[in-house]
């Protein structure tokens, strides 16, 4: 049962443009959402998070948007840079919950 879904396995964007990565979830009990970035042969690195009391969280070039009614979140990267090329995973958990549920990842390629 896939509780967190990333329907786009890959995305290519020109350098300087906006990258939008999407994530959907099914469990209405999730109230904490995270994005992780993963380079080959490395572990996932935390990027940005959002709790369900917010609908937007911004950190530099990265902004996460949460639409609770649609059970959808997205990560915006503006402007995209070649160093952003990586696999991006969204994850979700319940507050006080132990487990993070991960999506399958979206491989982002930023073309110089």
Residues that bind other proteins (CB under 8 A): 32, 34, 36, 41-46, 49, 51, 89, 95-105
* Angle in degrees, CA 64, 87, 73, rounded to 5: 25
Question: Helix, strand, coil shares of the chain as percentages rounded to 5?
Answer: 5, 55, 45
The minimum distance between CB 104 and other proteins, in angstroms, equals: 4
Reduce the DSSP state of residue 83 to 3 states and report it.
Answer: helix
In the complex with other proteins, the residue whose CB is nearer, 74 or 107, is 107
Output the smallest distance, CB 73 to other proteins, in A. 14
Query: Residue 99 belongs to what H/E stretch?
Result: none
CA atoms within 13 A on the CB side of 66: 23
Nearer to other proteins, 25 or 89 (CB): 89
Give me the count of residues in the chain: 112
* Shortest CB 45 distance to other proteins, Å: 7
- Choice between 25 and 36, CB closer to other proteins: 36
**CB 100 → other proteins: shortest distance, Å?**
6
């Amino acid at each position: 049962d896939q509780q967190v879904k990333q329907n786009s396995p890959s995305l290519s964007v020109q350098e300087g443009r906006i990258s939008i990565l999407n994530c959907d979830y099914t469990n209405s009990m999730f109230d904490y959402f995270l994005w992780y970035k993963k380079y080959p042969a490395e572990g996932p690195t935390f990027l940005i998070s959002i709790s369900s009391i917010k609908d937007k969280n911004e950190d530099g070039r990265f902004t996460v948007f949460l639409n609770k009614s649609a059970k959808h979140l997205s990560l915006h990267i503006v402007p995209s840079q070649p160093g952003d090329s990586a696999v991006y995973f969204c994850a979700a958990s319940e507050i006080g919950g132990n487990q993070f549920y991960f999506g399958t990842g979206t491989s982002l390629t930023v073309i110089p």
